[in-house]
Structure 1
Amino acid sequence: MSTLTADRLRAVQRRTVRVLSLGQVLGGIAFGATVSLGALLAADLSGDDALSGLATASVTLGAAAFAIPLARFAARRGRRLSLTAGNLLALIGIAVVISAAAWRVFPLLLVGIVMIGMGNAGNLQSRFAAADLASPEHRGRDLSIVVWSTTVGGVAGPLLLTPGEVVGQAVGMPPLTGSYLFSFVAQAAALVLYLVALRPDPLLTALRMVESPSRAAVLGAGEDHPVAARYAIFAVAGSHAVMASVMAMTPIHLKHMAHGMGGGMPSSTDVTLLVGITIALHVAGMYGLSPVFGILADRWGRIRVVLLGQAVLAASLVTAIVAGENPAGVMIALVLLGLGWSAATVAGAALLTESSTVPRRPRRQGISDSLMSLTAAVGAAAAGPVLTHFGYGGLSIVALVFVVAITVLSPLGRIR
């Protein structure tokens, strides 16, 4: 590869990361709103708090169902069209959720949330798109920059709950759906951005490069390590299951705490504000320090940062067990939960990418995202009954099992 070609490759990679980062800012708004409102809408329409976990289960189930088909589509047609397809599904899903709230049809609400989850599968695969053309020494950094960009939209989504309700009431929207107006506009903007600006397509460019052994070496795509790849998939899926199961029940747990406090029954606005702030802090933890974890993964190694993530997740769960009946304790636990998730998933995604040759990457990345979302869906669905019978602390104890398993099996992820 000539110097000119190498320079051009770096320029293309910088442009790709910028476009993906902006797309993640926009896409994160819909994700943040769905996480915050989904459980509350599900509880309201179903009339049963135990069914509230089905909202998070539905969004993750949608992502699980669409991850592998989206990865296969990306392998054939590239990242640009696959990410655009995800945005389109999210737009349709938002419209269905608003309609379900207006008609008060609980099953239709779950259908809409599933479609938003299918769109979120595209958001998840954006981080892999950032790694398609990245050099091995900067793969964790580039991948984590795109993950970090979700912070803006992910934090803005929950914080838009109260302003969204004001706007929604002004235009006659159903309760708890106003902020989806902002989500719809953001998703439409992301769709246009990917269609227009994500050129050349990073995955198709990488596939062409590996036809030459010298160029394949530049991408670190010469050897395949299936055992390490399988461990990376397990570590990411397990960490996501821990995060999703606890996070799914936090809005309901906070609502119960708010209604149990003295001084009279709190208003729905007070509960919504408490939930919005807590989830916003959690999402900030999920994405805010991801570049730090990406740089650490490049310098320390992927496995060490995966284990760092498990340590932080354990600290979060212990905090939830000890201080889970105090709003401040819940906020601290949720911030730590986000930080642990960030470290584990950034390092795990980098490990999965570098342990796979370029032609095998899309399929394994699709499997990883599918299993990640599927285990989270099962965890979120089961979290409702666990919370009802054993409380917030009992839910955290169950989640610790995954942390222990990921830690014990970590030697399998080392590339020799």
Structure 2
Amino acid sequence: MKDTEQTGTAGPDAPSPAATVSPAAAEPRPARASVPAGVDLAALRRRTTAVLVASQILGGFGVATGIALAALLAADVSGSEGLSGLALTASVLGTAVLSLPLAALMSRRGRRPGLMLGYLLGAAGGLVVVAAAVLGNFPLLLLGMAVFGASSAANLQTRFAAADLAAPEQRARAIAAVMWATTLGAVLGPNIAAPAGRSVSALSERIPETAGPFLWAAVIFLLAGLTVGVLLRPDPLLTARALAAGPAAADGGPDSGPDRGPDSGAHERSLRAGLAAISASPQARLALAAVALSHTVMVAIMVMTPLDLDHHGADIQLIGLVISGHITGMYAFSPLVGWVADRLGRYSVVLGGVGLLALAALLAGTAGGNHAQTAVGLFLLGLGWSGGLVGGSALLTDSVPPGDRPAAQGLSDLAMNASAGAGGALAGLVVSVAGYGWLTALAAALLVPVVLLAVVTAPHPAKGTGPDPG
């Protein structure tokens, strides 16, 4: 692929990753690592992707099952509908905060321990939520929801694990394949919530039906953790480091230790190193902005659209169809988005995602009582989010040295969830004061920094390298 045919630029996977890329240079594209004798890299990539897809289906299923009735459970336990939104807020904040320690663990020990811990914490959080429901303890419920958020952090990190072993020209597709698996859980989870609640309450009258899905989610997370622990061998991150170091480093086996790789001893694998790596790379800064702001725009508009539809006479069934169309836009087309990102470049997909998000804000904000227009806007909102997340995640992986990637990726997920949490919280205030139209306009304005960063850092490919080497 033309992306890999750059001249005069060493990518972060090259044996000497210390080089930085000027804004005028083409996007960094890692050099192909030599494959040690006896390692069928193509087969290993397929197997790793299959395991990650399986764990993502389980993880997404567990999250969607649990949160489907979270607001109702919070209202029952707290006795106030006004406090019902705090349950999901606690989960989002938990996802953001727990992304950091999970990323640090992955940086030191590999993807498998970090993903396993994320799912185990998610299971523990689900059990705490059930206990809080039985005891009628609202603060304990919020604590459980925060720990439950670790499962979402693991789901998010899975997309980066898929990129560890992927060829540079196939990274976006690997990320997108894992994201697509979330579609199954997002669709099936809410439909299982009600039967899950009834089945658990039948076992014990003390457990409310609205708490039952969390018990099911805990079991599902245990299965996801078991899948990762047993089948994700060798560890993709440690294997990628060993491959980047060459045959000599892989003699002891790609899973022989976390300090293997060309950056061993040269990089402090810490969150500070990840922040420094992002700060040092204009492309990484663009990637971080694209991921965080695309997610914030999507969440801010999505959470308030049901209320706007209700104000314009839509019934619950229609609102559900609009949100289902939105979720379809988010995940169903991610393989196509990944393919485009690998073929045309990361910049093209990031800017395309920004354009779709802006168009979605315009359509939704001016729809009024035109529910079909709102539905189209929400579908495009999901599709634009997919472009920002897939393109931005692939660009971030391309732009950061291998030893610093887990930490930088963890910081990306922290920024993504923290900014979206703030955006979701402020969205209600904006709508109550100024209206839904102003919310969509302000959300679209958040995309301006992404466009400016893209213009400043835009690559200038050499003749014959194509329109967008990223």
TM-score, length basis structure 2: 0.76
Mapped contact 1:94–1:180 kept (Cα < 8 A): yes
Alignment match of 2:344 (pick from 293, 300, 311):
300
Letter in 2 for 1:152: L
Look up the match of 1:120: 152
Cα distance per residue 1:160-199 (max 9 Å; x no partner):
3444454455444424334334423321211110010000
Alignment match of 2:142 (pick from 91, 110, 113):
110
Look up the match of 2:284: 229
1:325 positional shift: 5.0
Q: 1:95 to 1:240 in 2, by over 3 A?
A: same
Mapped contact 1:28–1:150 kept (Cα < 8 A): yes
1:316 positional shift: 2.1
Look up the match of 1:69: 101
1:324 positional shift: 5.5
- Structural mapping, 1:40-59, within 5 Å: 40-43=72-75, 45-46=77-78, 51-59=83-91
Mapped contact 2:365–2:436 kept (Cα < 8 A): yes
Distance in 2 of aligned mates of 1:177 and 1:354? 42
1:285 positional shift: 1.9
Alignment match of 2:126 (pick from 94, 102, 108):
94
The range that moved more, 55-64 or 135-144, is: 55-64
Name the structure where helix makes up a greater proportion of residues.
1
1:274 positional shift: 6.0
Mapped contact 1:29–1:153 kept (Cα < 8 A): yes
Q: 1:276 to 1:91 in 2, by over 3 A?
A: farther
Mapped pair 1:129 → 2:161: yes
Look up the match of 1:339: 383
Look up the match of 2:413: 369
Distance in 2 of aligned mates of 1:396 and 1:34? 29
Distance in 2 of aligned mates of 1:314 and 1:244? 14
The range that moved more, 187-196 or 375-384, is: 375-384
Look up the match of 2:359: 315
Distance in 2 of aligned mates of 1:325 and 1:170? 43
SS at structure 1 position matched to 2:165: coil
1:126 positional shift: 0.5
Letter in 1 for 2:284: A
Look up the match of 2:8: none
Q: 1:379 to 1:415 in 2, by over 3 A?
A: same
Q: 1:387 to 1:167 in 2, by over 3 A?
A: farther
Mapped pair 1:138 → 2:170: yes
Unaligned stretches of 5+ residues in structure 2: 1-32, 251-261, 264-276, 461-470
1:3 positional shift: 7.3
1:22 positional shift: 0.6
Q: 1:99 to 1:361 in 2, by over 3 A?
A: same
Mapped pair 1:209 → 2:248: no
Q: 1:85 to 1:3 in 2, by over 3 A?
A: closer
Look up the match of 2:232: 198
Look up the match of 2:303: 248
SS at structure 2 position matched to 1:386: helix
Larger Rg: 2
Q: 1:42 to 1:380 in 2, by over 3 A?
A: farther
Unaligned stretches of 5+ residues in structure 1: none
Cα distance per residue 1:79-131 (max 9 Å; x no partner):
11100000011111112223334444333332222112122111101011011
Distance in 1 of aligned mates of 2:350 and 2:179? 16
Look up the match of 2:110: 78
SS at structure 2 position matched to 1:199: coil
Look up the match of 2:45: 13
Q: 1:322 to 1:5 in 2, by over 3 A?
A: farther
Cα distance per residue 1:310-349 (max 9 Å; x no partner):
1221222223212365665554433222211111100100
Structural RMSD (CA): 3.0
Distance in 2 of aligned mates of 1:170 and 1:400? 47
Mapped contact 1:229–1:413 kept (Cα < 8 A): no
Q: 1:390 to 1:182 in 2, by over 3 A?
A: farther
Q: 1:156 to 1:298 in 2, by over 3 A?
A: same
Q: 1:15 to 1:227 in 2, by over 3 A?
A: same
Q: 1:367 to 1:4 in 2, by over 3 A?
A: closer
Q: 1:228 to 1:75 in 2, by over 3 A?
A: same
Distance in 1 of aligned mates of 2:108 and 2:445? 38
Alignment match of 1:382 (pick from 423, 426, 431):
426
Letter in 2 for 1:189: L
The range that moved more, 40-49 or 204-213, is: 40-49
1:276 positional shift: 5.3
Alignment match of 1:189 (pick from 201, 212, 223):
223
Q: 1:93 to 1:251 in 2, by over 3 A?
A: farther
The range that moved more, 226-235 or 327-336, is: 327-336
Mapped pair 1:176 → 2:207: no
Mapped contact 1:241–1:375 kept (Cα < 8 A): yes
SS at structure 2 position matched to 1:176: helix
Q: 1:408 to 1:84 in 2, by over 3 A?
A: same
The range that moved more, 328-337 or 403-412, is: 328-337
Distance in 2 of aligned mates of 1:348 and 1:193? 28
1:361 positional shift: 0.9
Cα distance per residue 1:224-267 (max 9 Å; x no partner):
8711111101110111111222333445556x559x67xxxx8x
Mapped contact 2:124–2:218 kept (Cα < 8 A): no
Q: 1:178 to 1:246 in 2, by over 3 A?
A: farther
Q: 1:24 to 1:51 in 2, by over 3 A?
A: same
Mapped pair 1:285 → 2:329: yes
State the identity as a percent.
43
- Structural mapping, 1:248-287, within 5 Å: 248-250=303-305, 256-257=310-311, 271=316, 277-287=321-331
SS at structure 1 position matched to 2:447: helix
TM-score, length basis structure 1: 0.86
